[in-house]
Amino acid sequence: MVYNLVPVVVPHPWVDTSRFPIVVVTFAPSATVYEMRALTVALRRFATGLNEPIGLISDLSEVRTQDPDARQVYAEFVRGVSGKWVRGTAVVTQNPFQRAVFNLHATLVGKTPYPVHAFSAFHQALPWLLAKMGGPH
């Protein structure tokens, strides 16, 4: 599989495409439902222009609190994401309880059409995600 190695710009401050086809979303310490809707709109717009699938890293390292409605907006977005444009999602969180919940949920429920796994650090998440993408890029 050949990827476009030119970074793609996404019109949202939480999204980093400099490692394209790996896309990193770094969530703010707290987010409103309106901020989460803006993020999901930007990601959907981004997805419509993709020719190749991406790997997604959701960095929750700085998240301290989150509006339940904002969490629901993002959860609905994730459930609706097509496996045609996402090959896998690595979640980065320092919270061991959150990691356990993410990994247990992904194993037992698995409602996404792509693999999801939680890690404690970015340097652990990247190799796993690259393997899901078919190797180093």
Which structure tokens are listed for 58? Answer: 């959701």
Q: Cα(7)–Cα(4) distance, rounded to whole angstroms?
A: 8
Domain-wise residue ranges, the chain: 15-133
Residue 1 scores a pLDDT above 50:
no
pLDDT digits (tens, 9 = 90+) for 61-86: 998 887 889 988 988 887 777 777 88
Q: Cα(8)–Cα(48) distance, rounded to whole angstroms?
A: 13
Contact between residue 23 and residue 125 where contact means Cβ atoms under 8 Å apart: no
E-only strand ranges, the chain? 15-19, 22-26, 54-59, 86-92, 116-119
pLDDT digits (tens, 9 = 90+) for 109-131: 767 778 889 999 999 999 999 99
pTM of the model: 0.84
Contact between residue 68 and residue 76 where contact means Cβ atoms under 8 Å apart: no
The CATH architecture of the domain made up of 15-133 is: 2-Layer Sandwich (3.30)
Higher pLDDT, 107 or 95: 95
